[in-house]
Every structure is written in structure tokens, then in C-alpha cells.
Amino acid sequence: MTLVPRSVRPLVWVALALAVTVVVAACGGQPSGNQSQSFKGTKKVGYSAPLTGQSALYGHAVSQSLQLAADDINAKGGVNGYKIEMDIQDDGTTVPQAVSNTKNMILQDNVVALMGSVTSAQCLAESPIAKQNKVITIDATCNSWQLTMQPDIVNPYWVSIVPNTYMEGTAAGRLAAKLNVGKIFIVSPKYLFGISETNAFVAALKKANSSTQIVNDPSTWYVPFPTNPRWDSTINAIQAAKPDLVYSNIFAADQINFIKQALAVDPQFFVKYPMTTLVSVDELNSLGSQYPEGMHAYMRAPFFALQTNNARLTDFISRYRAKYNNEYPSDWAVMDYDAFMLWAQAANAAKSFDADQVIKQVSGHTFDSLRGYKITIRSDELQANVGETTGTTTSSGGTYPFPVLKDVTNLKGDDLLMPLQMVNEIKGNQCDAKAGDPTTASFALCPSWKAS
Amino acid sequence: MLKVEGLNVRYGKSHVVFDFSVEVEDGKLLAVLGRNGAGKTTIIRGITGLLPGASGSVSVGGRDMSGWPAHRRTRGGVAYVPSGARCFQNLTVDENLEIASHANGGDRGWTKKRVWELFPKLEGLKNNMAGGLSGGERQMLALGRALMGNPRVMLLDEPTEGLAPVLVQSIGTLLGTLKSTGVSILLAEQNHQMALRVADRAAFIEKGRIVEVLPAARARDSEVLHRILGV
Amino acid sequence: MTPGQVLLFAVGGLANAAYLFIVAAGLSLVFGALRVINMAHGSLYMIAAFVTVVIGNQLGAGLGFWGGMLVAVAVAGAIGGVVEVLVLRRVYGREHLVQLLGTYAVSLIIAGAVRIVFGANYRTIVSPIPGHLDLGGYSYASYSLFMIAAAIAIGCAVWAMLYRTSLGRNIRAAVADPDLLNATGVNVTRLYTTVFMIGAALAGLGGSIVAPSQAVGSSIDTDVLVLAFAISVIGGLGSIVGSAVGALIVGMVISFGLVIPATNPFALAFVFIIMTAVLIVRPRGLFGLPES
């Protein structure tokens, strides 16, 4: 066998294939519509999107929503006189590609802002790059509180407008505590988000209901992420443990596969073992009528639960659906639209794209939101006081091709935000955390939490 | 009858066989003699159709096979026995024969039973993997496999290489028998004594060209034999 | 663990193994016969899963699935034929890197095409074999049991094809000496196309069988390829028996590994540790043949 191919023909095929891929990718990122206004020029806003891989479902909706947001802003004259173009690059839901995309977007495409990626794993890797290059990031999806508070991670240009894992875990813990059950089984993806949110859940649960017992060993709470699509092991572990409630924050393809396979084991699986779980419109929509009813869901921004007296959201839904094939906007679509609009408003107010100038117009300021209430960015950790929606899944009665929530509670962000004293303890390294390992940090070790 | 005209073989840019033309009538044997590297194997492989760089015409019994791929030539009656007693080592002896019996070029009625009769030793080994056979057994199998295709033409590349003198002799006898059934044989050999004993004619090859073709009887003490093979 | 729980997790491991083996069988057949590592194997699997869901849902619940499966297997086989003629023929006998690049290019093209044709949304189809079996207080999905049976059937069928038919004999002969096989009267070019089409159809069958148990999305090609390669490396690329053993090892390691507290953190890593150990001690895998 020779080391050098005798002919380069196969390489021609590879080149052809790559060319096709590049063209396809490029087509996906092109802005649509012609602009009649005259702009000073064009500026790009970057988003490293999971258009493929574990979270492909989410990236799809976010990309569409950001595109719509950019079109809306451009129709109103753009930002600081510049037309805004979305620079969306697929990261395959992988960290290395997210890092490489972020570098490309900052160093080659000169983006003026970034939208936060989907999973905390990617965000954790992107944040230092954005910080180093002084590029502001508005994050509406990845939500580990470590991203905005933990001293070795904090990025002064990173703004979170998604309920963070503390807020969300607290909401879920209170929700589960209200059910007043004896035995809880936990399943969670093994990476920063899962660990951070599960810790918050357990802490809130214990605080609200000390008699509840967690039946599986903490070391078995977590499943590999991204995972093997077979969930036999977890499903069988639940059968073996016979819990009164399953708590999960697995999401996207993982949640769909888990539910499908659990229902195949027993159509009454979620009746026997009710579940408190993170859900988004995407999972509901993907499984449609197969999505079990009676699930105790906590959701970040389900459009169907936030529409009351909310003309802004109603208008967004109809325009989103008209533009995108009658699809319903997911929670991620709603939140990322907010993210883009927040940045545009702040940059216009700052009359600058400079991150230091823009962040001044973000920190402590209040913004409109599709969610039906105004959101304020707390300056201590640049976290928005966004709420969480809880409820129980039920048939929408034909209104939507998927279930919705009943017994809806829209929890207020102000009730969920981490107490300021704790934020400061974390920022001051007073909670036991190993430097460089964000997954070890547990706010439950903070003095103020222990005291309460 | 095998008729080869103007066979030229090129490997990339190097030209290795030049205008090789021979005829071998039914029931005759042509010995192709030359030193190692003279081009004997390439000539044979050129005739089989296995070499993409071969040009020229090949016909068997008047049927023009030029441009046919190797498997069609085999089915048209050309059997190839490569050097080194090559067999399908991971197949059983039985399978090695079966696999060739699907290629029926002629109607000389070769069956497994007749191969067993010819090589009784093989029958006892029929469920053994070919890779475990001795050199002599493998050569029998290679010949048996070629016969299963009921060939009109056989191309043999050094069938006696590395065999004990007794086996060399019996292969010589076998070739004589095959000739009598009307098969045309082209035999490339280093062992010129054995080859010339069964051959009707001999073609001497040097650097990819035929330098002389002689009747076997005259070839034995010819000057060209001494010059080319150094005997 | 009680005996009932051991059975529960053993069957879970078997279901996992069945899933992996169904996908890896074709990969292994193609590598065994053609000595080509087919990076596009997962792509054919993915296309078939989509076709099964779309056609199956079109034809209606229950029986529709089987119709979808027939079409999906045919589509995967046909695409395999085209890929073989257009791409693989040019890379046989080349170093594996060229083959990897060639088939990887095919996988990228298919992935792009699938996203354009089927979109980013996950699609699902209801199980054609609903119901479950209750045993010792635990439930077993009928469909998982069907998958285990299908894996055994596919394994036996591939083995019988290789060792009990003339096609299989020719395939084995081609592994040993394609030149000689050509000179024995077998059209090796066509044989290779046939083998690749069978491998592609097996990938398609795998995609179809797996479709009702999973969210079918445009990334299931890579989800499965990594573990399918891992089991092929452990069992020996090219060996059907090896793939079965590799799948069993991986399925059981994951099933039991995740529920035992001490092993949970390493369950998936352990799969790759085994793979690395096999590569060091026996690079051709447990049942693989050395490359000639």
C-alpha cells in the first residue's frame, strides 16, 4: 500500500462534498428580504447554533426567531444606523465547534454581539472568549447560575435573561414539594446544567419538605450527555425503585426518547411514576398527542400560558407562524427574540456597539418582553428577573397539535431570584467551590443558605 | 485454440510486455521460458484480462475476447492457475472447487467427482480450509479449481515452483493428459526440463519480448536456451 | 439487586445490545467484504428512519409501519447502490484514510439533504407492536423484545447468507483474493455492488426497526455511529459474531453500569476503555481477522 494516493480523484469528491455543505450552510444563514432603508453599513450579531446534534430542535427555533428579530429591527432603521445581519453557525451541539464558531464570529466576522448558545457546556467555553474580546453576550437559553456569578467564570459582558438554574431548580423544588410525596427518583444530564439545576432542586425541595426522601444514590442521578438514545437503564432503575415521583431535567431528544421508551414499557408509566420535569414547547410539539398528560411541568416561556392581555406576544406568534410554515414559537424562540431586542435597545441607547457602553445601558435597566411583563436586569450579576411557568400537562382540546398546561402558575422572577446576600457570598468565594471546577460549586454551602 | 496478437502491457508509464503474439492449437502446449522478471507472469495475466494496462487481441476458438473483463474470459473457457498455488485460503477445499464450477466455458464434463478421482488426496481434505494445505496439495487444488471451469485454454504460471521432484513429474504427466483432451495450454516455467518434456513448442522471453519460438525438440539444446536461462 | 432486578437490567442490556447490533451488522458486513469503513452507514440508517416515519404515518398506524419499512429498506439499498458505483469503486484498495474521507463526504451530503428534505424537527411514529409483558413486578416493552428477536434474526440471516449460500461463499472468496475470484469467473465488480447494497439495506432495516422507539431527527446518524464503531472495534470489524459479542458487552456495561452507584460515573467511559484495551492487546478485535 502506498502512502500517497496514485490519483486524487477521491479527493475531488471530498472537495465537492465540502463545497455542497458550505453552500448549503451559507444558504441557511442568508438574510431574507430586501431593505429599502439606507444604512451606514452592516453589522453582524453571532449565534453559535445547534442546528444539528442533540439540541438541533432548539437551534432551529432560535435561529428563526433571531432572524425575525433582526428583520424587525432593520425595518425600524437597524441599530445605530447599521443594518443587522445574523451570523448563525452550526455547532452540532458540541463544545469544540461552539468554541471555533465563537472565535470565527468574533475575529473574522467582527460580530458586535453574541446570543448565548443552547447548553451550558457550550456557554462555559464561549464566555471566556467573548470576555477576552469584549463582546457582549445576551443569553436566553443556557442558564447555569455559575455563568453569571462564580468568580472564576464571571464575564462582565454576559447578560442572562433566562431563569437560571437556581431560579428554575427552586421553582421545580417548590413544585415537587407541594405534591407532598415520599420517594423521589432523580434523572439528570451529567454536565454543568444538570448538576447545577439538580442541586438547586434538591436544596429547594429539602427546604420546603424535609420528609421527602430521594431514592436513588446521588452518583446515579446523572446520565451521560449527550447520551446513548436507549434509556433502558434509567427506565428500569425507576421500575426497580418504585418512586412516587420522578424529577427530571433531561431535555430535547433525550426527553423524547425517554418518554417514548418508558411508554413502550408501560402506557401507564407516568401514571405509576408521575414526573416533575423541565419541558419546552419543542418537546410537546415533537411528541404531540403522545406526550403524556399529567406531567408536572416547569417551562421557561410557553407562549400558550403567557398570552393573557399580551398583545405583543400575540402579534409575535402570528408573525412567526406566518413566516415559518405555521410553526408555533418555542420557549427558546420567545426568549431569544427578547434577547435580541434587549441588545438592540441597549445599543441604540448607548449610541455605540462598544461592550462597555452597551452594558451600562443593560445593567439595572428595564426592558419590554414578549413574556407579558417588563424585565429588569439586576446589576449585581446581570440576571433578569424572569419568571417560570409551572402546570400540569393536559390536552389542548384541539387548539394546538400538542398538549398544553392546566393549573398554570406563572411564578414571578422576583420570587425566584437568588437572594442578594448569597450572590455576594458566591461572588466573594465564600461558598465552598473548587477553583476551575464549576460543577463542585454548591450554593447550599453558602453561609446564608445554611443559616436559613 | 488460443490466439494472442500484439499483446502489450503497461504499468503506468513503464512498458513491460511488447507485441506478444502466439497461437496455441487445441491439444498443444506452448512453454513460455525466461528468467525471473522477464515478463512471463505479466504476459499470462495480460491474457486473463486482469491487467487494466494490457492491449492487443485475445481469441479462444475463434471467439474474440479482447476487451472482455477477466470473469467473462474465464466463463468463455480461459482458466488461470496463478503462481504460488494461490487458493481461497479461507474457503474449504470443497468450496474452492464449487466456486469455479459456476463458470462453465466448455463441455468437457469436469465435475468434483472427476477432480477427486484425479487427486484422491484432496477428497479426504475436502472440508479442510485451503489455507491449511501443504504446497503440493494446494497446487492440486489450484489445478482442480481451474479444471472445474471446463477450460478450453489453460494458463499456468510456474505450477511446479517449490514442489518435490515426484510432484513435478506427476504434474508433467497431468499436463500430457489434459493435452489429449484437446485443451490448449500456455505454460510459463522456470523448470525448462519439465516444460520442454511436455511442450510442443517453446517461446523464449527476454525483457518482455519474444526472442525466439522453437519446436520443443529443437529447443532443448538450443543456443537461446543456454543464453537466456544460463544452462 | 434482587434476581428480578438482575433480569430487568439484563433484558435492558439486551435491548440496548440489539439496537446497536442491528445498526452495526451492515457496517461489519461491508467492512468484512470490501475492507471499507463506511462512514455513511449512519446516514443510510437515518434516511431509512425518516422514510419509515413519513411513509408509515402516511399509511396509518399499525400496519403502516411495515409498509414504511419495506420502502425504507428499498430506498436505503438503492442509495447504497448509487454510492457504491459513484464513490466506493474509486477508493477500493486505497488506504483507509481516503476511504474514510470519501464515505465521510457522502455522509455530509446525505446529512445536508436530509435536513433540507425532512427539516430539523424530530419525527415520531407509534410502535407497531404496542403492549408490554409483566414479569415479577416489572414491565418489559413488547417492542424491545421484538428488537431483541429482530437482532437475533438479522444476525442469523447474515451468518447464513455468508456461510450457507453461494453469494456468501463468493463474498468470503473476495475477502481472500478478489483477483483470483475474478479469474475464477465471478464478476467481482458486481459482487461488490451487491454486498454494499445489502449492507445499505441492513442499515435501512436498522433505521426502520429503531424508528418507533426513538425521536427521529437529523442527527441520529452520528448518535449511533460512535457506539456502532465502538462495538465493531471491540468485536472485530468485519466479524458478525464479533459485532454481536461487542454489542452485548456494550449493552450490558451501559445497562448495569449506570444503575450501580460505584460504576455510574464511568459507565460510558468504560465502553471506550474496553475499546482501547482491545485495540492495545488485540488490534483486530476479539473476533476480527488480521488485514492481509
A368 is written with which cell numbers?
419590554
The model's confidence at residue A333, banded by pLDDT at 50, 70 and 90, is: very high
Which residue matches cell numbers 428554575?
A168
Which residue matches cell numbers 464575564?
A155
The neighbour count for residue B26, using CB atoms within 10 Å, is 14
- CATH number of the domain at C61, please: 1.10.3470
Touching subunits for chain A (3+ Cβ pairs under 8 A): C
Whole-number pLDDT of residue A10: 45
Question: What is the average pLDDT across C130-156?
Answer: 94
The answer to the question of residue C255 being in a domain is yes
Q: In the beta sheet, which residues pair with residue B187? A: B31, B156
Which residue matches cell numbers 392546566?
A406
A369-405: pLDDT as tens digits: 999 999 999 999 999 999 999 999 999 999 999 999 9
The CB-side HSE value for A62 (13 A sphere, CA atoms) comes to 33
Q: Where do the domains of chain B lie, and which CATH numbers do they carry?
A: 2-229 (3.40.50.300)
C18 is written with which cell numbers?
440489539
Residues in A touching C256 (Cβ below 8 Å): 233
Q: With 70 as the cut, is the pLDDT of residue C271 above it?
A: yes
The answer to the question of residue C291 being in a domain is no
How far the first Cα of chain C sits from its last, in Å, is 47
Lowest mean pLDDT of A439-443, C40-44, C57-61, C241-245, name the range: A439-443
Q: With 60 as the cut, is the pLDDT of residue A62 above it?
A: yes
Indicate the SS3 state at residue B42: helix
In B143-162, the residues whose Cβ lies within 8 Å of chain C are 145, 149
Q: Taking a C-beta distance cutoff of 8 angstroms, is the pair A389, A298 a contact?
A: yes
Residues in C touching B75 (Cβ below 8 Å): 185
Which chain C residue has the Cα nearest residue A4? C95
Contact (CB<8Å) A92/C219 = yes
The amino acid sitting at C85 is: V
The neighbour count for residue A311, using CB atoms within 10 Å, is 9
Q: With 70 as the cut, is the pLDDT of residue B106 above it?
A: no
Contact (CB<8Å) B50/C187 = no
Query: Among residues B78, B50, B73, B98, which one has the least CA distance to residue B183?
Result: B78
- Write the DSSP string, C47-85: HHHHHHHHHHHHH-TTHHHHHHHHHHHHHHHHHHHHHHH
Beta strand B29-33 with B201-206 is: parallel
The answer to the question of residue C180 being in a domain is yes
Tell me whether C180 touches chain B (CB under 8 Å): yes
The answer to the question of residue C286 being in a domain is no
Domain-wise residue ranges, chain A: 40-163+310-384, 166-299+389-416
Which residue matches cell numbers 443587522?
A84
Q: With 60 as the cut, is the pLDDT of residue A20 above it?
A: no
Contact (CB<8Å) A232/C16 = yes
The answer to the question of residue C290 being in a domain is no
Distance from CA of C263 to the nearest CA of A (A): 9
The model's confidence at residue A5, banded by pLDDT at 50, 70 and 90, is: very low
Top residue of A236, A282, A326, A328 to mutate, by most chain C CBs within 10 Å, is: A236
Number of structural domains (chain C) is 1
Tell me whether B50 touches chain C (CB under 8 Å): yes
Whole-number pLDDT of residue A6: 41
A223-282: pLDDT as tens digits: 988 767 899 999 999 999 999 999 999 999 899 999 999 999 999 999 999 999 999 999
Q: Taking a C-beta distance cutoff of 8 angstroms, is the pair B36, C171 a contact?
A: no
Could you name the CATH architecture of A40-163+310-384? 3-Layer(aba) Sandwich (3.40)
Q: With 50 as the cut, is the pLDDT of residue A30 above it?
A: no
Closest residue to C169, CB basis, from B71, B98, B103? B98
Which residue matches cell numbers 463474498?
C171
- Write the DSSP string, C78-147: HHHHHHHHHTGGGTTTS-HHHHHHHHHHHHHHHHHHHHHHH-SS-B----SS--EEEETTEEEEHHHHHH
Touching subunits for chain C (3+ Cβ pairs under 8 A): A, B
Distance from CA of C82 to the nearest CA of A (A): 14
Residue ranges of alpha helices (H) inside chain B are 40-48, 70-75, 93-101, 112-118, 120-124, 135-148, 165-180, 192-198, 216-219, 223-229
Top residue of C180, C194, C289 to mutate, by most chain B CBs within 10 Å, is: C180
The model's confidence at residue B146, banded by pLDDT at 50, 70 and 90, is: very high
Tell me whether C188 touches chain B (CB under 8 Å): yes
In A264-303, the residues whose Cβ lies within 8 Å of chain C are 264-267, 269, 285-288, 290
The answer to the question of residue C288 being in a domain is no
The amino acid sitting at A259 is: I
Determine the Cα–Cα distance for residues B6 and A221; give it in Å rounded to an integer. 78
Considering just the CA atoms, what is the radius of gyration of chain C in Å?
19
Task: Supply the range of the domain harboring residue C49.
Answer: 3-281
A111-168: pLDDT as tens digits: 999 999 999 999 999 999 999 999 999 999 999 999 999 888 999 999 999 999 999 9
The answer to the question of residue C289 being in a domain is no
The CB-side HSE value for A39 (13 A sphere, CA atoms) comes to 19
CATH hierarchy code of domain A166-299+389-416: 3.40.50.2300
Contact (CB<8Å) A14/C126 = no
The answer to the question of residue C292 being in a domain is no
Whole-number pLDDT of residue A433: 61
C47 is written with which cell numbers?
434516511
Residue B93: exposed, middle, or buried by beta-carbon count in 10 A (0-12, 13-18, 19+)? buried
Whole-number pLDDT of residue A439: 56
Q: Taking a C-beta distance cutoff of 8 angstroms, is the pair B141, B159 a contact?
A: no
Determine the Cα–Cα distance for residues A377 and A355; give it in Å rounded to an integer. 16
Q: In the beta sheet, which residues pair with residue B8? A: B55
Taking one residue from A and the other from C, the number of pairs with CB-CB distance under 8 angstroms is 186
Q: Taking a C-beta distance cutoff of 8 angstroms, is the pair A32, A67 a contact?
A: yes
Determine the Cα–Cα distance for residues B89 and A248; give it in Å rounded to an integer. 56
Whole-number pLDDT of residue C82: 97
